[in-house]
Each structure stands twice: as structure tokens, then as C-alpha cells.
A and B are shown apart, each in its own frame.
Chain A
Amino acid sequence: MPYVAPSTIDEACDFLRSNPGSRVFAGATDILPQSKAGRRLPEFLVDLKRIPRLTGLNVDDKLWRIGASTPAAHLTRDSRLSGEFPGLVEAAGLIGSDQIQTRASLGGNLCNASPAADTGPSLVVNEFSAVIASPEGERTVPVTAITTGPGQTSLTNDEFIVEFLADRPAAGTSDAYQRFTPRTEMDIAVVGAGARVSVGPTGEVTNADLVLGAVAPTTVPIVGISDALVGRSLDEPGLERAADLAKEQIEPISDKRGTRDFRIHIAGVLTKRVLRTAAERAGAES
């Protein structure tokens, strides 16, 4: 299984087109354990870390660009990103240990397509889009279009994510990510919750979004959160309503990491906590 490390997007695309047995990777933090667990390694290992556009963070007046292979540690160390997307940075800081975060990337976290991936809810709730390279050229899709089920994505074998894009958040808008795990570190989310909340000048909620992970085959945007919270200050009845909405809209499974009932219960708890944190960050009175 030869290793190749293209240095340009075109080179990578050409290689992938002519070698259908290839698999792209960035941090290798999933592909190597999977091969240990018996999954066969691909015919070619295509390392996407040597393409400059895929590694790095850029921000202009309007837009954030995060290279798909950028290690999570580069996100957590970037104070501007932490200021504008604290929730996404929290999620990146929860992917495995420090050892893992120097390697694991947003692109890998999304394309490994684990329902429990920590950055999924934050990417979705912040409406990130993904620039996808393919032999036919580049296209941009919402991140929700990428993962289609556990271990499955909509990308074809010769496609890969170049970077993630998002508008810079407006003043009075912030996000948060929280997950539940039995251990404080080195664990997989039993439930993960990403929230984005906007508040008006008097501290009332003007918009609220919530996306949950590890409660269905792919991330679940919860419908009706804004309706439950908009116009109110953060009060317990509103949060209770949001928690009920979350619990109604998810379809978790029971597995070694948690039962269905426990996941539903925790989804309700995290919904309230993560919305409160995001709202406080956005300037709401608690």
C-alpha cells in the first residue's frame, strides 16, 4: 500500500483518478486504528497534509477559511478563531488527547463519518460549507451534504475536502459545544451538542440553533429551537421546551457507549447547558 504525498490539489486529483483503490488521509488517527481492528488498508495512502491550501487558517473581513487537513491543535491555539467560534474550538479540543490533536483534522473528523465526531455539530450549527476538489474541479457544498451515515460520505473516491468556509459571526452571536463522556478525556461522545445563539441589544434571544451528535446516523439539527427561545431571556421554561424538542427529534441507538434511553436523557441535559453557554457568550443575561 504505497504512500504518496501530493503537493498540489491537481496532483492529488490526478493520482486519485488514475488509482481508484486510493484513500486520502490527513492525521491518520482513524485509519491506523481501523487497520489494527482488521479493516484492510487501501491500495494507496494519499497524504493530504503537504498541500499548502489544505493546512492553515485564514480570515478576511467576511470569511473564515480552515484548511481541511489543519491539525486540531492549530485551531485550539488560534485566539481569533477561539474568539469567534469558541464552540468549534471546544470541539476540536475534545478530539482525543493532545497527541491526537496535533494530527487530527476537521476534514478527517467529518469524513471518517462517525456519528459521534465532535466537530460535526459545531460545523453544522455554524453553517460551515466545504470546498470539495474533484478531477472535474472544485465545488462548494454545505457540510450537511458530506456525511450520509456511519462511515459513509457523499464524496466519491477521487474527491476530497480542501477547506471549510464560514461567515464571520455577527456581533451578539456566539456558539458552544459540549459533550457527555464518562471520562474527562480520551473518550467518545455519548451525546455531543453544538449550539449557536444570537441575542439582541437588550439581551433577549433573537436566534438559536442546536445540532446534536451521536444520537442518529448523522448529526441532527433540532427544528424549532429558535421558536422556543426567541424573544425570551434565557429562562428555564424555554430551555425545557428546547430540551423536549431535542429529545423528540433524535433516534439514538443502544451500544457499548450508552443506551438509547440514556442518550435521550443526556441530549435533554446537554441541550439546556449548551444553549445557555452559547447565549451567555453571545451576551444574554443568565
Chain B
Amino acid sequence: MKTHVTCSVNGDPVEFLVDDSQTLLSALRDELKLTGVKEGCGTGDCGACSVLLNGELTCSCLVFAPEVQNSQVVTVEGLADPDNLHPLQAAFLEGAALQCGICTPGFLVAAKALLDRNPTPNEKEVRYAIAGNLCRCTGYDKIVRSILDVAADLASESETVGE
């Protein structure tokens, strides 16, 4: 027997059938084919499967798919609008913040969750906010710098608006 789940993914209404023990990660990848969400460990230790669930940063491998009934899910596929990259996506490209790129979707979602809550983080706050995301290629240096770059842009934009 499977459960019929109705929810919103990246703003679109979706429905799918899942085994109750299936994870949200598996539903997104195997049922909806949103393969931007990656599985690095399946135990919540690498952050590659990060999504926003009702606005909250979550490892989709640690959510049972039926839990998201009537919820809103945002994946890396939902960060950009049709015409523009999200500033974080642009900054990651500019700043060479990815090498192999497997962890990139999770970092982008985690960084968005950080900036949504705290648009002006310092380096330490950035490092702790992405500590749930493992990257083995970059040593994090360019990821941290890229997130700080976006934060600085946001800060100067808000100053401009303030003036």
C-alpha cells in the first residue's frame, strides 16, 4: 500500500505515491526526478540532500515522504527564477566555489537558509551555518568567500535603499 502525497515543490503543486518508509529525498529523486537533490550519506551527516521544508533547512534524507503532505518544499531547482540566477548561484560561479559540484546544491540551499534568517553574517557565522554540509574538494574557502560576497552585496543594497 502506498500513500498519496500532495504538496508544493518549488512553487508547483505536485502529487506522488510513496511507500511510507520512503524518504523525502527518495520521493524527490526517484518519483519526481528532481535529481539536483543529492544523496551523499543517507544519515543526515553530509547535507547534500538539503532542502527547505516549509522554509526550514532540512536534510531530505531524514524526512519520511508522507510527512510533507500539504507542505512546501524548495530544492536547488527552485532557487533561480526563470530569468535570473539566485545571487548565491551567481556568486558560486564567479567565486569558483565548486569543483566537482556534487555538494553544491546542498550548500546553496543551506546558504540561502542562512541569508534568509541573517542577511549579514560574519565569517564565523557562515562557517557554522554550513557546518552540516560536507565538501571534500574546496576546503570551503571559496564557498565561505562567495557567501560573504552575497551578504556584502545584500548589505550595500539595503544601505542604498535606506538612503
A and B touch in the complex (CB under 8 A): yes
Q: Which residues of A contact B (CB under 8 A)?
A: 1-3, 5, 27-29, 32-33, 35-37, 41, 45, 47, 49, 71, 73, 96-100, 102-103, 184-186
Residue of B nearest to A42 (CB): B21
- Give per-residue flags for B41-57: 1 if the beta carbon is below 8 A from chain A beta carbons, else 0: 01111010010010011
Tell yes or no: B148 within 8 A of A by CB: no
Tell yes or no: B3 within 8 A of A by CB: yes
Interchain CA distance A198-B50 in the complex, whole Å: 42
Contact B21 A29 (CB under 8 A): no
Tell yes or no: B79 within 8 A of A by CB: no
Interchain CA distance A98-B121 in the complex, whole Å: 15
Contact B20 A32 (CB under 8 A): no
Contact B62 A100 (CB under 8 A): yes
- Give per-residue flags for B13-35: 1 if the beta carbon is below 8 A from chain A beta carbons, else 0: 00000001101000000000000
Residue of A nearest to B43 (CB): A33
Chain B interface main SS type:
mixed
- Least Cβ distance of A129 to chain B in Å? 29
A3 with B67, Cβ < 8 A, contacts A33-B44, A45-B21 known: yes
A98 with B42, Cβ < 8 A, contacts A1-B21, A2-B20 known: no
Contact A27 B66 (CB under 8 A): no
Interchain CA distance A186-B131 in the complex, whole Å: 7
Q: Which of chain B's residues 105-135 have a Cβ closer than 8 Å to chain A?
A: 110, 113-114, 128-129, 131-133
Chain A residues contacting B45 (CB-CB under 8 Å) are 186
- Least Cβ distance of B72 to chain A in Å? 14
Residue of B nearest to A100 (CB): B44
Size of interface on B: residues with Cβ below 8 Å to A: 31
A32 with B129, Cβ < 8 A, contacts A41-B21, A96-B44 known: no
A2 with B1, Cβ < 8 A, contacts A99-B59, A185-B128, A185-B131 known: yes
Tell yes or no: B104 within 8 A of A by CB: no
Among B21, B59, B69, B114, point to the contact of A100 (Cβ < 8 A).
B59
Chain B residues contacting A29 (CB-CB under 8 Å) are 44, 62
Residue of A nearest to B25 (CB): A32
Contact B132 A100 (CB under 8 A): yes
Residue of B nearest to A73 (CB): B56
